[in-house]
Structure 1
Amino acid sequence: MKSPTWTLMAAFITATCSMSLSYSVHSTDIESDFTWPANYQAAVSLSYDDALMSQLAHAIPALDKYGFKASFYLTLANPGTQQGMEQWRSVAANGHELGNHTIFHPCSKSQKDRDWVAAYHDIDTKTLTQIQQEISVANTFLQAIDSQISRTFTIPCGDTETAEGNYVEVIRNDFVAIKGFNPQYDAKFDLLLMPENVSGETLINFVKKAHRQGGIANILFHGIEGDYLTVSNQAHDELLQYLSDNRETLWVDNYRNIMQYVKLKHQPLNPQE
């Protein structure tokens, strides 16, 4: 049975989340000599947040049908992580990434309609050390599932401010990349869509936009044919069929693999000292 906190959180996310998100401030400089491997012209990162059972039931079989690898961002306290533990282990063994989405999904309680955020999970009151420790423990737990030492991260609710300030830079070096928060690279690598109840055409058009820019189409799904922020099996499959039809020019892979390549080949726009 779902906990009251997760039920309320799901209701809030469904009611208030925007489809298109852009978190980072990027340099306007474009490194024109960047190229994707082989003959690829752009990359597509299919991602799935919150460790939802509908992802195991619907997304995984569809991805495996087409031979695509994706990233699944597990919130470790979510019942879907616990109930599907052995399935998630198999998912990782099959080449999908298990990404970090924290243990308790901390969000800002001070934002509008955030009554569902428990006081003890309110990021507004957490110190930088507390959030860093939670994320570090989540990494250790994920390593126990998949034996991997590198992975990527998605930020719950897009909320980055603790009681002591923004935590993104505190954890950045713990990850290959943070989805939507990579200002050291060109903005075309952070194109992000979080869809709900959309058509396959909408998903495909977003991929085409990234393709034109030579960037990454980051599609951050939640429920597939169930749960919340739902996308239908039909729309999801139409997207996968399009990607399959264009697999010679579109690199579809898990986010870790894509961003490892970007880190290797793309000179940071604002190198840190």
Structure 2
Amino acid sequence: MRADRSHARRVRVFALAMLISVAAQAQSLPSPLVWPHQARAAVSLAYDDALDSQLDIAVPALNRHGLKASFYLTLGSDTVRERMAEWREVAAQGHELGNHTLFHQCAGSAPDRGWVSADNDLDTTRATQLVAQVRVGNTLLQALDGRQERTFAAPCGDLRASGEPYLQALKADFVAMKSAFGGVVADMQTLDPYAVGVEVVSDTTGAQLIALVERAAAAGTMVNITFHGVGGDYLAVSRQAHEELLHHLASHRAIYWTDTFVNIMQYVKAQRIPQAHRSQ
């Protein structure tokens, strides 16, 4: 009998130790990020370069479906200068105006960059000069929309000016940055807000676009889709493919939280603050 009681005590001690170990492991694992309205994924739709087709086709389509998106303006472009009132209205409708630099400098030495002019070659633009220009861009954007918090998208995904990294100097100026490739985020807990990846789409079908957001829903994370032309301009997707994606998102609001990149990243950063810090 004494041996039986001793054995039972050992079993209870072992079971208690296992429970403590499992609890400790659970606490050490990152908790999954819970999206608003219990959605399964966040979707950031972005439109780069301030193109006419974005104002003529993309914005009306987004508004018709009640979806919000981010427009990264090349602030020195003719479309910004000639249609400034319309961009101001885009912001008033709840869309984000993001910073895409003044002149869209890219590295002329990269493959297939014959279109990069000598004046806008990132290989010969000083990092300090580019940083100063980006900050001027924020001032211009604030004059358009009255907002101070915004995000940045690195043109062409190039991260060096005259061989020197420039994004580090701008981190304090932005909530987050799109500066990498790969649209579906693998892990929200380890995501660097200043190196968020994007999926740049061109000549993509509606089914392919929908497959992207479905991958994000399966992972429980987010997807960042970047458009240029919609039904026109360059690097374009068709009006039909764009419409099919928007219809899918609007028809499945319980699954997808579609919002501006600045709103999504503000939410992500707030959710990742440890609970003890939130109460201070």
Partner of 1:219: 225
Shift of 1:186: 2.8
Q: Distance in 1 between matches of 2:54 and 2:250?
A: 20
Aligned to 2:190: 186
Question: Runs of 4 or more off by more than 3 Å in structure 1?
Answer: 180-185, 187-191
Correspondences of 1:47-86 after superposition (within 5 Å)? 47-86=46-85
Secondary structure in structure 2 of the residue aligned to 1:34: coil
The number of residues matched between the two structures is: 240
Answer yes or no: is 1:263 the counterpart of 2:269. yes
Give SS of 1:179's match: strand
Is the 2:99–2:151 contact (alpha carbons within 8 Å) kept by the matching residues of 1? yes
- Aligned counterpart in structure 2 of residue 210 of structure 1, from 206, 210, 216: 216
Mark the CA change 1:66 to 1:127 in structure 2 (over 3 Å): closer, same or farther: same
1:125/1:263 Cα in 2 relative to 1: closer, same or farther (>3 Å)? Answer: same
Deviations 1:189-241 (A, max 9, x none): 84521111111000000001111111111110000000001111111111011
Quote the residue 2:244 is aligned against.
238
Task: Verify the 8 A CA contact 2:41 2:220 in the aligned structure 1.
Answer: yes
Measure the CA separation in 2 of the matches of 1:67 and 1:78. Answer: 28
* Gap runs ≥5 in structure 2: 1-27, 275-280
Stretch of structure 1 that moved more, 197-206 or 74-83: 74-83
Instruction: Identify if the C-alpha distance between structure 1 residues 30 and 113 changes in structure 2 by more than 3 Å, giving closer, same or farther.
Output: farther
Residue 88 of structure 2 is matched in structure 1 by: 89
Choose between structure 1 and 2 for higher RCO, CA contacts under 8 A separated by at least 6 residues. Answer: 1
Are 1:46 and 2:45 an aligned pair? Answer: yes
Query: Which is richer in helix?
Result: 2
SS in 1 for 2:177: coil
Name the amino acid aligned to 1:99. Answer: G
- Give the aligned CA root-mean-square deviation in angstroms: 2.2
TM-score (norm 2): 0.80
CA drift at 1:185? 5.2
* Alignment check: 8 A CA contact 2:157 2:179 kept: no
Q: Conserved in 2, the CA contact under 8 Å of 1:188 and 1:214?
A: no
2:190 & 2:72 partners in 1: Cα distance? 23
Deviations 1:128-178 (A, max 9, x none): 211100100010011111111011111011111122511111112211110
* Paired AA for residue 259 in structure 2: D
**TM-score, L = length of structure 1:** 0.82
Residue 69 of structure 1 contacts residue 254 of structure 1 at CA under 8 Å; is this kept in 2? yes
Judged with a 3 Å threshold, the aligned counterparts in structure 2 of structure 1 residues 108 and 184 are, in CA distance, closer, same or farther, namely farther
Bigger mean CA offset, 116-125 vs 81-90: 116-125
Structure 1 distance, partners of 2:149, 2:40, is 26
Q: Assess if the C-alpha contact under 8 Å between 2:105 and 2:121 holds in 1.
A: yes
Q: In structure 2, what is the Cα distance between the partners aligned to 1:59 and 1:264?
A: 30
Q: Are the equivalent residues in 1 in contact too, given 2:178–2:197 (CA < 8 A)?
A: no
Identity, in percent, stands at: 47
The CA deviation at 1:117 is 1.7
Answer whether contact 2:107 2:116 (CA < 8 A) is retained. yes
Structure 1's 244 and 82: CA in aligned 2 closer, same or farther, altered over 3 A?
Answer: same
Look up the SS of the partner of 1:251 in the other structure.
strand
Whether the 8 Å contact between 1:188 and 1:216 is mirrored in structure 2 is no
Alignment of 1:109 onto 2:115: no
For 1:23, the equivalent position in structure 2 comes to: none
1:101-137, CA deviations, whole angstroms, 9 ceiling, x for partnerless residues?
0000011111233232222222112222111001000
